[in-house]
């Protein structure tokens, strides 16, 4: 007698409540008797609660294994959409089973004897795939509508610090604060924003204190602390629709400067902040503390030391002016000592197919660090210069109420444009607009949306700069006084912090070093001279070998500086 296996599937809660899998199994057992095939009880597989859009189902995996082992000759399935909701997956499975000599029999489908029967099966598969896409779209729009209404039920559970309370007849679903976990969240934010601990240090502290995680038997990981610091729910606004599934993008500095990108696999991408739908929840963290945490996370992303054993003054700030790649620090050893220098990533042949992308020469670390530090100290030696600039910007900051009002107006306009785009797309999906009408109406809306987002980002940057100026003005005199006294005795980390407060970026070319900072300076250096251009200084006439055995000098043999508004050009 021929051996057979049964594969049944039901995906939704309603299907489980209606016992559709049991009815499928009963009908397929009756079909097995009709076909005179034997189905052992252990070979009746029911995938309860699994989507038809995936092939990763325990029962289906076991059926495929039995077919590969040659233990069955027939697979019984209720209908093609129970095998898969995607027609391509249906064909893949049927052909795979056929290669092993296994026949696929559907209870509610033709047996593909004629071309017409095969065409009907194809139509059924395409209709099932269409129905799944329709269900996904309806579900997405339904969740979005409930999120805008402030319903917590659209979120996937409660984060650490909260307990999810299910919907009841007298109350909607909500978050309840768990005091013990909320205290841990507050301590994590305090250590990160006030004490200055790193994410790794916080993780080690949590594990050392034996703080329990949500999942018993697990320990705290850096990714868990990082996600906690980014979650907007802790400031009282849980967000729906933060990510979307799209093509994975890997954006390098060089590509970003050129305005292009490279695509790889698909993954979840974060949506623009304006598209998030906020749902009010109990707040655990004050808004200024949360904002400070986001600022530190962004700074850590751009300037983290990571595996740096010995820090350098301008690490994370240097890039190649020619190709746009960052400069990484590397070293070589001479007969006497270890020599460090910065090297353009685009000049490394092993990093790129087809050879190096850039011909820039390496720069000695001590030369570039000394040049940047000298320029920073020259800017800070004139307190009147800084005070005048701060006074000017503070005057603008104190009269910044129109900016706040404009930000609110832009946000309202952006919401209106988003709703207009949504209405146009809905009208097209409902066949109320033709494709030509869609193409005519959509570009102006997209252009308006892009312009509003650009303006909103500019206003946000201005707001952050005003806050920085107000904070800096309060301690300016004391800071400059301490700096002049202790400038020569500061260690590398202290110098690095000062440089990062003043310097935005350092661009290096073969004969030019461009230091971009945020302090406007006059056309010439104070008192008519500059330490960087003084021919009697240590930097003048100095030649540096790049590697042992090379007679090529690095950037900056003979330096002189010409300083402009916010930018210092140092040429060789």
Q: What is the mean pLDDT of residues 43-55?
A: 80
- Here the CATH number for the domain that contains residue 166 is 3.90.1750.20
Distance spanning both ends of the chain, measured CA to CA: 90
Q: Are 366 and 445 part of one and the same domain?
A: no
CB 43 within 8 A of CB 4: yes
Is the four-CA dihedral 193, 195, 196, 199 of positive or negative sign?
Answer: negative
- Return the percent helix, strand and coil in the chain, to nearest 5: 50, 15, 30
Which of 232-236, 415-419, 510-514, 557-561 comes out lowest in average pLDDT?
557-561
Is the backbone of residue 166 left (phi > 0), alpha (psi -120 to 50) or beta? Answer: beta
CB 466 within 8 A of CB 400: yes
Q: How confident is the model at residue 530 (pLDDT cuts 50, 70, 90)?
A: very low
Q: Please work out, in degrees rounded to the nearest 5, the angle formed at the alpha carbon of residue 502 by the alpha carbons of 497 and 505.
A: 95
Q: Alpha-carbon Rg of the chain, whole angstroms? A: 32
* Burial annotation 60-75 (CB, 10 A radius, 16+ → b, else e): bebbbebbeeeebbbb
Q: Are 447 and 529 part of one and the same domain?
A: no
| Other residues' Cβ atoms within 10 Å of the Cβ of residue 201 | 14
Instruction: Indicate whether 69 pLDDT > 90.
Output: no
Please report whether residue 308 resides in a domain: no
pTM: 0.44
Residue 13: give the domain boundaries.
4-144
Helices (H), 332-434: 365-380, 383-398, 401-429
Q: How confident is the model at residue 498 (pLDDT cuts 50, 70, 90)?
A: confident
Q: Are 363 and 511 part of one and the same domain?
A: yes
Which residue carries 């893949």 as its tokens?
A: 92
Instruction: Indicate whether 556 pLDDT > 50.
Output: no
Q: How confident is the model at residue 534 (pLDDT cuts 50, 70, 90)?
A: very low
Is the backbone of residue 556 left (phi > 0), alpha (psi -120 to 50) or beta? Answer: left
Examine the fold and report which residue of 117, 144, 171 is the final residue of a domain before the chain moves on.
Answer: 144
Write the pLDDT tens digit of every residue in 436-466: 888 888 888 888 888 888 878 777 776 666 6
Write the pLDDT tens digit of every residue in 96-152: 888 888 988 888 765 555 666 666 666 766 776 667 667 766 777 788 888 888 888
Please give the Cα distance from 485 to 489 (Å, whole number).
9
Q: Are 472 and 419 part of one and the same domain?
A: yes
Whole-number average pLDDT of the chain: 75
Q: Are 172 and 219 part of one and the same domain?
A: yes
Structural domains of the chain, count? 4
- Here the CATH number for the domain that contains residue 99 is 3.40.50.1390
pLDDT score of 541: 39
Q: Are 232 and 290 part of one and the same domain?
A: yes
Share of the chain above pLDDT 90, in %: 10
Q: Are 128 and 182 part of one and the same domain?
A: no
List the one residue out of 45, 114, 113 whose CA is nearest residue 83: 45
């Amino acid at each position: 007698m021929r051996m057979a296996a049964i594969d049944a599937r039901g995906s939704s809660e309603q299907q489980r409540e209606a016992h559709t899998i049991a009815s499928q199994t009963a009908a397929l057992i009756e079909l097995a008797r009709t076909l005179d095939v034997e189905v052992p009880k252990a070979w009746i597989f029911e995938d309860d609660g699994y989507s038809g859009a995936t092939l990763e189902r325990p029962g289906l995996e076991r059926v495929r294994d039995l077919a590969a082992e040659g233990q069955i000759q027939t697979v019984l399935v209720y209908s093609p959409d129970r095998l898969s909701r995607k027609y391509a997956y249906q064909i893949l499975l049927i052909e795979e089973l056929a290669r092993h000599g296994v026949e696929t029999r559907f209870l509610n489908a033709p047996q593909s004897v004629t071309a017409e029967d095969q065409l009907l099966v194809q139509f059924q598969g395409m209709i099932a795939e269409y129905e799944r896409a329709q269900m996904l779209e309806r579900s997405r729009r339904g969740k979005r509508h409930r999120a805008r209404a402030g319903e917590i039920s659209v979120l996937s559970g409660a984060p650490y610090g909260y307990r999810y309370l299910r919907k009841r007849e007298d109350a909607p679903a909500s978050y309840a604060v768990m005091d013990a976990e909320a205290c841990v969240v507050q301590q994590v934010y305090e250590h990160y924003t006030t004490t200055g601990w790193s994410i790794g240090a916080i993780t080690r502290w949590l594990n050392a204190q034996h703080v329990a995680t949500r999942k018993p038997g697990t320990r705290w990981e850096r990714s868990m602390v990082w996600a906690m610091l980014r979650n907007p729910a802790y400031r009282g606004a849980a967000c729906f629709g933060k990510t979307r599934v799209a093509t994975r993008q890997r954006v390098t500095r060089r590509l970003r400067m050129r305005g292009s990108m490279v695509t790889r696999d698909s993954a979840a991408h974060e949506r623009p902040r304006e598209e998030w739908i906020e749902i009010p929840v109990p707040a655990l963290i004050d808004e200024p503390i949360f904002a400070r945490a986001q600022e530190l996370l962004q700074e850590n992303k751009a300037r983290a030391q990571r595996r740096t054993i010995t820090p350098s003054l301008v690490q994370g700030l240097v890039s190649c002016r020619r190709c746009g790649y960052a400069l990484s620090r590397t070293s070589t050893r001479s007969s006497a000592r270890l020599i460090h220098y910065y090297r353009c990533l685009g000049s490394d042949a092993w990093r790129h197919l087809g050879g190096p992308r850039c011909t820039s020469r390496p720069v000695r670390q001590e030369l570039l660090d000394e040049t940047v530090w000298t320029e920073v100290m020259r800017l800070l030696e004139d307190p009147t210069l800084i005070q005048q600039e701060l006074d000017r910007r503070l005057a603008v900051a104190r009269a910044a109420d129109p900016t706040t009002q404009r930000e609110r107006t832009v946000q309202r306009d952006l919401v209106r444009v988003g709703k207009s785009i949504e209405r146009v797309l809905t009208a097209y999906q409902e066949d109320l607009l033709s494709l030509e009408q869609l193409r005519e109406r959509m570009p102006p809306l997209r252009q308006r949306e892009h312009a509003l987002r650009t303006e909103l980002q500019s206003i946000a940057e201005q707001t952050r700069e005003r806050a920085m100026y107000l904070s800096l003005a309060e301690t300016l005199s004391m800071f400059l006084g301490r700096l002049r006294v202790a400038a020569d005795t500061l260690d590398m980390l202290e110098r690095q912090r000062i440089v990062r407060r003043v310097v935005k970026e350092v661009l290096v070319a073969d004969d030019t070093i461009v230091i971009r900072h945020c302090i406007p300076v006059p056309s010439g250096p104070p008192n008519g001279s500059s330490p960087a251009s003084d021919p009697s200084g240590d930097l003048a006439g100095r030649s540096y070998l790049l590697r042992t055995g090379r007679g090529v000098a690095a950037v900056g043999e003979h330096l002189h500086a010409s300083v402009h508004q916010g930018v210092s050009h140092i040429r060789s």
